[in-house]
């Protein structure tokens, strides 16, 4: 029996809305960092499209760097899998996140960066999953508040896939999604 795709997944943020909101985030960063050269440190891999689009809307001089985190088990210790190539000492650092969920990753990043004698630190996240927050973390720039559904697209993955969808989709029914991956894939990329 074929599944009703629209009841299994739904597009929650279109590429047009993403583009508009990212423009507004870039405007705010351009204004706040006037006269400075911040380094944008993005957390791989989910921030890939976001940093490319945000970066191209910035009109102040900026540099880019990347880091990647590892998680040891569900809710376990978080460490650095790949560190930045450049030193962050005495730099204005803007952390770029795809989504802040429990806040634990961002809290760990703040702890790590606190030891690196940065000049200033702020965070820009595309998505803020407010209902799932466990720890309080400062978020200076936020794209969208989202609910607690699992999201894919525009950098966010499901088992490594769907990062290249231009919009963001919510998986409403996970068992149905997993039962008919080929059908969902065709629907979402159709």
Q: Known catalytic residues?
A: 101
Question: Minimum Å distance from CB 69 to ligand 5GP?
Answer: 8
| Residues shown for the chain | 190
How many residues bind ligand 5GP (CB under 6 A)? The answer is 16
Q: Rg of the chain's alpha carbons, rounded to an integer?
A: 17
Helix (H) or strand (E) holding 56: helix 48-56
What are the CA-CA distances from residue 159 to residues 144, 150, 163 (Å)? 23, 12, 10
- Among 51, 101, 121, 143, the residue binding ligand 5GP under the rule CB under 6 A is 101
- Cα gap 34→29, rounded to integer Å: 8
Stretch that binds ligand 5GP, among 7-15, 21-29, 80-88, 104-112 (CB under 6 A): 104-112
Interface of this chain with ligand 5GP, residues 105 to 144, rule: CB under 6 A? 105-106, 129
Neighbours of 48 (CB within 10 A): 16
What SS3 class is residue 112?
A: helix
Question: Minimum Å distance from CB 18 to ligand 5GP?
Answer: 15
* Per-residue tokens: 131: 């209902």
Neighbours of 89 (CB within 10 A): 9
DSSP, res 164:
T
97, 123 in Cβ contact below 8 A?
A: yes
Choice between 33 and 103, CB closer to ligand 5GP: 103
- Among 95, 100, 121, 124, the residue binding ligand 5GP under the rule CB under 6 A is 100
Stretch that binds ligand 5GP, among 9-17, 34-42, 53-61, 145-153 (CB under 6 A): 145-153
Stretch that binds ligand 5GP, among 7-15, 18-26, 101-109, 181-189 (CB under 6 A): 101-109
Interface of this chain with ligand 5GP, residues 45 to 74, rule: CB under 6 A? 46
Neighbours of 72 (CB within 10 A): 9
- Among 103, 143, 169, 184, the residue binding ligand 5GP under the rule CB under 6 A is 103
**Which residues would be at the binding site for ligand 5GP (CB under 6 A)?**
46, 98-106, 129, 150-152, 156-157
């Amino acid at each position: 029996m074929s599944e009703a795709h629209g009841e299994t997944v739904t597009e929650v943020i279109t590429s047009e809305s993403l583009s508009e909101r990212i423009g507004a985030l870039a405007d705010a960063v351009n204004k706040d960092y006037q006269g400075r050269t911040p380094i944008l440190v993005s957390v791989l891999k989910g921030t890939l499209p976001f940093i490319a689009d945000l970066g191209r809307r910035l009109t102040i001089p900026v540099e880019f760097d990347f880091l990647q985190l590892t998680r040891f088990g569900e809710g376990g210790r978080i460490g650095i899998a790949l560190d930045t190539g450049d030193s962050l000492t005495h730099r204005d650092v803007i952390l770029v996140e795809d989504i802040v969920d429990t806040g634990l990753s961002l809290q760990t990043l703040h702890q790590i960066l606190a030891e690196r004698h940065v000049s200033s630190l702020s965070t820009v996240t595309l998505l803020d999953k407010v209902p799932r927050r466990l720890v309080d973390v400062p978020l200076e720039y936020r794209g969208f508040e989202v609910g607690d559904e699992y999201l894919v697209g525009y950098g966010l993955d499901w088992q490594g896939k769907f990062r290249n969808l231009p919009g963001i989709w919510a998986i409403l029914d996970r068992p149905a999604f997993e039962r008919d991956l080929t059908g969902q894939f065709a629907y979402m990329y159709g």
